[in-house]
């Protein structure tokens, strides 16, 4: 049956685009579906502020009336300007195990990008670093966290057959939570606080964070992440967007803020309960009963696994041991909630400073993922 690649637009077709990604993995026990509505809103220029500096195109692959693949093409003009490149990105790239499908979908994005003056094809990545990125190469037998891509092993062969080559790798680390914070670590923490005149700020609510610090929370992220792969600074509209999306659902027992003597925010750590099982039960839908599973997962008093989503330290405070303070604050909370494992979602393999952070834990590298590139 003939393969057709169809450019789509409009909410009706985008719903099919989102649903295909969920349906392809419906029998896979390690896949974590996205929240359907959040995913749909990501593709809506009226909802996603990344469209202020990005443009996108969406394709579905059909054999007859059956959808067999999908892909998004994205040009992030802001990131291209920051990094002085001409990249067209691809993301939300899923397909059945058929190389004709994967090739024609990639060709569609490459042709679109080339027509707009782009010179490199790059992915899988999203609009920004806040989206899922990196093809999973190792760790297929672990349940995927909410904040990471999952893919079948056959994807790797398709990428290589197309001529895509490694551009960046991330590792993911599983940390075993200790029974207590060692006295040695506590002493080091006190030395760091005294030497650099920093302190851990008590955090109880989103209102407290916004009242006290406003969006400087995100200014710190922009400063800390500026040198990292493909990063482009968050705009004020994006800061508001992500604050409204995430702040209300965070468990503030797992949020740590560090300030200096000028009351400036210089370090932060954000951990979330792993809600992958809840999302699987909800099948990506809030209604009719998905909200119950998600609320139960977010507000659980006993947790097996948490996801270390975000650690940021202001550049002039890096390599001064502030990450030790983050863990000194959070490990007692992990113990209180019965947490066995703290999973770190993605660390660039070249970010050696960050990799040394986990020496405070017994830990193992249990996943690896990759962003690819091809000259077009």
pLDDT of residue 94: 99
pLDDT of residue 297: 65
pLDDT of residue 207: 86
Q: Are 132 and 345 in contact (CB under 8 A)?
A: no
Residues 17-38 have a mean pLDDT of 94
Residues 209-228 have a mean pLDDT of 89
Per-residue pLDDT tens over the stretch 293-331: 666 666 778 999 999 989 999 999 998 989 889 989 999
Give the Cα separation of 280 and 353 in Å (integer): 35
- Domain locations along the chain: 3-170, 175-370
Per-residue pLDDT tens over the stretch 28-59: 999 999 989 899 999 999 999 999 999 999 99
Per-residue pLDDT tens over the stretch 186-216: 999 999 999 999 999 988 888 888 888 888 8
67: its two tokens: 């959808």
pLDDT band at 354 (very low <50, low <70, confident <90, very high): low
Mean pLDDT of the chain: 92
pLDDT band at 227 (very low <50, low <70, confident <90, very high): very high
Q: Are 272 and 248 in contact (CB under 8 A)?
A: no
Lowest-pLDDT range of 14-23, 100-109, 263-272, 289-298: 289-298
Mean pLDDT is highest, among 242-251, 334-343, 357-366, for: 334-343
pLDDT of residue 313: 94
Burial 19-39 (b: 16+ CB within 10 A, else e): bbbbebbeeeeebbbbbbeeb
CA distances from 355 to 57, 184, 196, 242, 323 (A): 36, 20, 22, 26, 11
Angle at which helices 206-213 and 216-225 cross, to 10°: 80
pLDDT band at 217 (very low <50, low <70, confident <90, very high): confident
Pick the more confident residue, 283 or 376: 376
Whether residue 348 is predicted with pLDDT greater than 70 in this model: the reply is: yes
Whether residue 292 is predicted with pLDDT greater than 80 in this model: the reply is: no
CA nearest to 48, candidates 111, 125, 103, 130 = 130
CA nearest to 156, candidates 237, 102, 231 = 102
Pairing of strands 265-273, 255-260: antiparallel
CA nearest to 279, candidates 140, 150, 172, 87 = 150
Give the Cα separation of 129 and 135 in Å (integer): 14
Architecture of domain 3-170: 3-Layer(aba) Sandwich (3.40)
What are 276-279's contacts with CB under 8 Å, separation 24+? 276/32, 276/143, 276/144, 276/145, 276/146, 277/143, 279/32, 279/33, 279/34, 279/35, 279/146
Q: Is 64 helix (H, G, I), strand (E, B) or coil?
A: coil
Q: Are 8 and 17 in contact (CB under 8 A)?
A: yes
pLDDT of residue 276: 82
Q: Is 179 helix (H, G, I), strand (E, B) or coil?
A: coil
- Contacts of residue 38, defined as CB under 8 A and 6 or more positions apart, other chains included, come to 245
Domain 175-370 fold is Aminopeptidase (3.40.630)
Whether residue 146 is predicted with pLDDT greater than 60 in this model: the reply is: yes
Please give the model's pTM, rounded to 2 decimal places.
0.92
**Apex 351 CA angle, 349 and 355, nearest 5:** 85
Pairing of strands 87-95, 120-123: parallel
pLDDT of residue 358: 72
Pairing of strands 341-348, 165-176: antiparallel
Pick the more confident residue, 323 or 94: 94
Residues 338-350 have a mean pLDDT of 90
Residues 169-183 have a mean pLDDT of 92
**Domains 3-170 and 175-370 in one fold:** yes
Give the Cα separation of 340 and 351 in Å (integer): 26
Pairing of strands 305-313, 341-348: parallel
Per-residue pLDDT tens over the stretch 147-160: 789 999 999 999 99
pLDDT of residue 351: 76
């Amino acid at each position: 049956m003939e393969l057709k690649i169809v450019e789509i637009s409009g909410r009706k077709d985008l719903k099919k685009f989102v649903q295909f990604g969920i349906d392809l993995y419906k029998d896979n026990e390690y896949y974590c579906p996205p929240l359907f509505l959040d995913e749909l809103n990501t593709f809506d220029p009226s909802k996603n502020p990344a469209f202020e500096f990005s443009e996108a195109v969406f394709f579905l692959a059909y054999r007859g009336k059956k959808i067999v693949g999908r892909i998004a093409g994205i040009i992030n003009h802001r990131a291209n300007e920051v990094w002085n490149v001409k990249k067209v990105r691809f993301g939300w790239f899923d397909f059945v195990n058929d190389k004709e499908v994967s090739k024609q979908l990639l060709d569609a994005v490459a042709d679109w990008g080339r027509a707009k003056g782009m010179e490199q094809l790059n992915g899988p990545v999203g609009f920004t670093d806040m989206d899922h990125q990196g093809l999973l190469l190792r760790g297929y037998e672990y349940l995927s966290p909410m904040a990471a891509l999952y893919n079948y092993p056959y994807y790797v062969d398709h990428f290589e057959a197309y001529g895509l080559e490694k551009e960046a790798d991330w590792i993911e680390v599983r940390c075993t939570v200790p029974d207590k914070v060692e006295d040695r670590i506590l002493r080091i923490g006190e030395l760091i606080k005294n030497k650099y005149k920093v302190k851990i700020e008590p955090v109880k609510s989103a209102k407290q964070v916004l009242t006290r610090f406003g969006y400087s929370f995100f200014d710190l992220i922009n400063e800390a992440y500026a040198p990292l792969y493909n990063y482009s600074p968050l705009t004020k509209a994006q800061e508001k967007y992500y604050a409204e999306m995430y702040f209300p659902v965070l468990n503030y027992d797992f949020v740590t803020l560090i300030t200096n003597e000028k009351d400036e925010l210089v370090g932060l750590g954000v951990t979330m309960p792993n809600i992958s099982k809840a999302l699987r039960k909800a099948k990506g839908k809030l209604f009719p009963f998905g909200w119950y599973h998600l609320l139960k997962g977010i507000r659980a008093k006993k947790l097996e696994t948490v996801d270390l989503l975000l650690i940021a330290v202001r550049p002039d405070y890096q390599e001064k041991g502030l990450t030790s303070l983050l863990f000194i604050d959070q490990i007692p909370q992990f113990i209180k909630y019965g947490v066995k494992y703290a999973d770190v979602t993605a660390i660039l393999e070249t970010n050696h400073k960050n990799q040394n952070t986990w020496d405070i834990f017994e830990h193992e590298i249990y996943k690896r993922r990759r962003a690819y590139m091809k000259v077009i």
